[in-house]
């Protein structure tokens, strides 16, 4: 069930490019790269062999320099499954990103989404890891890679901030035009990170994990949705509704046009767990959440165009 979208390379600052894969729905993530005379720093890879090779071709259209460093912002498949196609790069990530990539293993079509053609795959986790962060350089361009300090989108999110360019690669802490997703992390943690870590950086150009390049307004949009979920969870749980029941009864209102609306169910599963006292990032029954998301989607597998 593939559909082609014209991916595009956007120069967002001198020597800094975002690679945007419309429409930004399931597995269609953004990557980016910073060029230097001696090499390139890549921010993430793509979900499939075909899409990662297209991304590498886009880099080659800009520079002949090799990709020497690859940063994974978190462990999810759409940001890491193409790692093996950069065999000459040092793969950098948070220590928990390495652990989660290794635990997840190979791509498998599990029936939650329509079948995806993953292509060639080899497990390639980060092999240079950090606890709190690391600074990388592309010539004189400083790239501060920082773990956000608490579970948010996942247990292992990092951001890449270029202070001299006022650019932030936010990974999946931010979605532009798509429904945010915190099932594997923390609703409260994401709100805290956006308010206390991301916003204070003051970045004027933000590359979200999915969707068009934007400005800092995406932070407010994301927080508005997350607070909507938090309020809904409190009211629905007090009324004795399950996450699925709450989602089915809810008018998404201002958020109805966001892609992948079924994520409301997964987000409510996480919100309910936190209302029950679960710590941020605690393991919950994600399989049940995905089953409920499929039910919310009319019993049809979720749609990926990867």
Which range of residues forms the domain containing residue 61?
Answer: 8-225
pTM (predicted TM-score): 0.97
Q: Is 134 domain-assigned?
A: yes
pLDDT over 60 (residue 79): yes
Q: Is 302 domain-assigned?
A: no
Q: Is 166 domain-assigned?
A: yes
Q: Is 274 domain-assigned?
A: no
pLDDT over 60 (residue 176): yes
DSSP secondary structure letters along the chain: -------EEEEEETTEEEEE-TT--TT---EEEEE-SS-EEEE---SSHHHHHHHHHHHHHH-SS-EEEEE-SS--HHHHTTGGG-TTSEEEEEHHHHHHHHHH-S----SSBS-----S------SEEESSEEEEEETTEEEEEEE-SS-SSSSS-EEEEETTTTEEEEEEEEESSB----TTS-HHHHHHHIIIIIGGG--SEEEEEESS-B-THHHHHHHHHHHHHHHHHHHHHHTT--HHHHHHH---GGGTTSB-TTHHHHHHHHHHHHHTTPPTT----HHHHHHHHHHHTTTSPBP---
- 68-75 mean pLDDT: 98
| pLDDT value of position 109 | 87
- 45-72 mean pLDDT: 98
Q: Is 172 domain-assigned?
A: yes
CATH number at residue 13: 3.60.15.10
pLDDT over 60 (residue 2): no
State how many domains the chain has.
1
């Amino acid at each position: 069930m593939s559909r082609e979208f014209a991916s595009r390379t956007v120069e967002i600052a001198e020597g800094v490019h975002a690679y945007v894969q419309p429409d930004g729905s399931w597995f269609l993530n953004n990557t980016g790269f910073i060029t230097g005379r001696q090499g390139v720093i890549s921010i993430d890879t793509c979900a499939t062999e075909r899409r990662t090779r297209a991304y590498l071709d886009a880099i080659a259209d800009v520079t002949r320099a090799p990709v020497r460093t690859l940063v994974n912002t978190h462990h999810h498949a759409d940001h890491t499954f193409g790692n093996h196609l950069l065999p000459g790069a040092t793969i950098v990530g948070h220590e928990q990103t390495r652990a989660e990539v290794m635990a997840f293993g190979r791509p498998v079509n599990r029936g939650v989404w329509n079948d995806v053609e993953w292509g060639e795959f080899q497990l390639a986790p980060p092999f240079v890891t950090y606890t709190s962060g690391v600074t990388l350089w592309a010539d004189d361009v400083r790239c501060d890679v920082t773990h956000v300090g608490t579970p948010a989108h996942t247990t292992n999110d990092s951001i890449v901030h270029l202070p001299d360019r006022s650019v932030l690669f936010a990974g999946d802490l931010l979605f532009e035009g798509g429904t945010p997703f915190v099932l594997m992390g923390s609703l409260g943690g994401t709100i805290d990170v956006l308010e206390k870590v991301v916003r204070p950086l003051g970045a004027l150009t933000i590359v979200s994990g999915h969707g068009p390049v934007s400005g800092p307004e995406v932070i407010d949009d994301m927080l508005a949705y997350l607070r909507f979920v938090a309020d809904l969870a409190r009211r629905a749980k007090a009324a004795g509704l399950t996450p699925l029941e709450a989602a089915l009864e809810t008018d998404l209102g201002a958020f109805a046009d966001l892609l992948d609306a079924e994520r409301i169910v997964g987000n409510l599963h996480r919100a309910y767990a936190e209302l029950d006292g679960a710590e941020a990032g605690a393991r919950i029954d994600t399989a049940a959440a995905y089953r409920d998301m499929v039910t919310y989607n009319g019993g049809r597998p979720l749609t990926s165009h990867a």
